[in-house]
Amino acid sequence: MTAPSAPRPRAMRFAEAGFAAIALVLFAKVLASLLLTNRAQHRTDELFVSASHRIEDVATMNSIIAEMHAEVERVLPRSLPAEVSLLSTHAREAEERFRAVGARYLASNEGRAAGIQLQDYFRMTSVTRVYFSTLQRVVALSLRGEDDAARVLLHDALEPTRVRQSLIASGLLREHAARTRTLYAALNASRLRDTRMDFGANLLVLALLLVVRRLVMHRLEREDDQRGQHLAVLAERNRDLDEFAHRVAHDLKGLVNPITGYASLISEAPEDTPRVIRYAARISRKTDEVVAMVDELLRLARAGNVSRGPSALGAVAAAVLEQFEAEVIGTDARVTLQIGEVAVNLGEVPLREVLQNLLQNSLKYRAPDRPLELVMSAAVDEEMVRLQVRDNGVGMSNVVARHAHEPFFRASFDRDVPGSGLGLAIVHRIATAHGGSLHVESTEGAGTTVVVMLPAWSPRLSG
């Protein structure tokens, strides 16, 4: 089996694309805000220019009346018929010009937007109509030769009307100019405020986006690293399974081949002969070995199951030692327990399995020239319990020690030692399944030390 590679997560690619799209949209929004700001500035300038035109219209209407009155004051004192007749024509033309400029002024929306009070304009035009009406009466009196009456009407009615119109026009000009300046200042301040707020909001959103992107990408990268680690673990386990399957096939084949051979010999041998009995015994023995190996495989498979719970390490170790009491006494072995009140977060069944395999290995690989001395100790190391089994057995080289926990691994010196080679493999699998580990240190001819890290029991884990 081959482990799949760790591809870049699709979620990370989508997140990067999404963040890039949002950043592009925000950048476009900032650019659009700048363009809108420029348009607002242009519009403000247009309003200001238009308001200036309205001021010019009021000034033009006022100047039409002023010019007309200056001509009246020049012509009427002399009362020349030709000049008076021409004055009447000029008066009608001036009135038409005044109305045209006034119509243009009224048609302008900007004039209203600038805050011009229309009632003042209508007051001015009303007074202007009175002025032109009075002027026509003065001209008519002058043409009839009634010069004295014309002069009286000029000074008593026409002159006050002109002054009144001029005052209204001047006030309208001042108000128009003041309101135009206020409008321009307000529009300019509003444009600047909106621009700053919009630009600041965009920068804030962009900054938040970058922060969120950093957090999300950090989370995705961390998950990607964890996924890569999981894939690496799967790859290692797949390699272990490949090696395990190869060794199982080899060992089972080694057990089945003799059975097949002996069965073939029995079929060729005469009945009721000592050779048939011998072959049958060998077949039985090999069959028992196959059954034992299958049992060991089942134990190895169950070793990967997680079983939690408080277990008193000292009590379970004493029970396991009692189980091997006959063999310990028969080999003059000396076993010392230095455990104390230590509890592990491991079910009693897998804990017993661990201790049985460790004790059995030490008894199996004891040195032939000296009694076995074994010390089993335990100590709490932060959240783990360090279980150590040290003996003075035959030991092994460092190369062999590195592979001692692999399933069905057998060193060259122990080919004749009975067993399946699964003892330390079971211990290793139980330890790793519960978050622990297994480490073997050995010196050839001097002994072996096995260290198993198991989770310590804590009352807070009971919930």
- Domain hosting 454: range is 307-463
Residue 329 and residue 213 share a domain: no
Exposed, middle or buried, 108 (CB in 10 Å: 0-12/13-18/19+)?
middle
What does the pLDDT read at residue 113?
42
Q: For position 417, what pLDDT does the model report? A: 58
Residue 239 covered by a domain: no
Please indicate, yes or no, whether residues 335 and 212 belong to a single structural domain of this protein. Answer: no
325 and 430 assigned to the same domain: yes
Name the token pair of 262.
């002996």
Beta bridge partners of 442: 448
- CATH number of the domain within which 391 lies: 3.30.565.10
pLDDT for 36: 63
* pLDDT given at position 2: 40
User: What's the CA gap between 71 and 92, in Å, rounded?
Assistant: 13
What distances in angstroms separate CA 247 from CA 19, 46, 235, 422, one per listed residue? 52, 92, 18, 11
249 within domain boundaries: no
Residue 291 is assigned to a structural domain of this protein: no
Pairing mode, strands 334-338 and 373-381 = parallel
- The contacts of residue 132 (CB under 8 Å, 6+ apart) are 91, 94, 95
- Looking at 217, 237, 269, which one is the last position of a domain? 217
Q: Give the three-state DSSP class for 382.
A: coil
Q: Do residue 327 and residue 426 come from a single domain?
A: yes
Residues 204 and 319 in one domain: no
Q: Answer for the pair 269, 279: CB distance below 8 angstroms, yes or no.
A: yes
234, part of any domain: no
What pLDDT, on a 0 to 100 scale, did the predictor assign at position 109?
Answer: 47
Query: Are 211 and 324 within one domain?
Result: no
Does one domain contain both 213 and 348? Answer: no
> 313-344 burial string, b = 16+ CB within 10 Å, else e?
bbebbeebbeebeeebeeeebebebebeebbb
341 and 211 share one domain: no
Domain end (from 157, 186, 217)? 217
Residue 228 resides in a domain: no
Query: Is 231 in a helix, a strand, or coil?
Result: helix
Confirm if 449 and 389 have CB atoms less than 8 A apart. Answer: yes
pLDDT score for 437: 93
The domain total for the chain is: 2
Residues 312 and 458 in one domain: yes
Q: Which of 123, 152, 136, 155 is nearest to 94 (CA)?
A: 136
pLDDT at 112: 47
* 49 lies in some domain: yes
| Rounded distance between C-alpha atoms, residue 79 and residue 82, angstroms | 9
pLDDT at 386: 94
pLDDT at 29: 65
pLDDT in 10s for each residue of the chain, 463 residues: 444 444 455 555 666 666 666 667 666 766 666 666 666 666 666 666 666 777 787 788 888 888 888 888 787 777 677 777 887 888 888 888 888 887 877 776 444 444 445 666 777 778 888 888 888 888 888 888 787 887 788 788 888 887 887 887 787 777 777 777 776 676 667 666 666 666 666 677 677 777 777 777 777 788 878 878 877 777 776 666 656 655 665 666 666 667 667 666 666 666 656 766 676 777 777 776 676 666 666 666 666 677 787 899 999 999 999 999 999 998 999 999 999 889 999 989 889 999 999 999 899 889 989 999 999 999 998 889 999 999 999 988 888 888 777 876 666 555 555 556 678 888 998 898 888 999 999 999 899 999 999 999 876 544 4
Residue 266 lies in a domain: no
The model scores a pTM over 0.75: no
Complete DSSP assignment for 96-117: HHHHHHHHHHHT-HHHHHTT--
Are 34 and 181 in a shared domain? yes
Are residues 87 and 191 both part of a single domain? yes
Judgement on whether residues 195 and 331 belong to the same structural domain of the protein: no
Task: Among 197, 217, 237, identify where a domain stops.
Answer: 217
What is the pLDDT, as a whole number, of residue 252? 65
232 domain-assigned: no
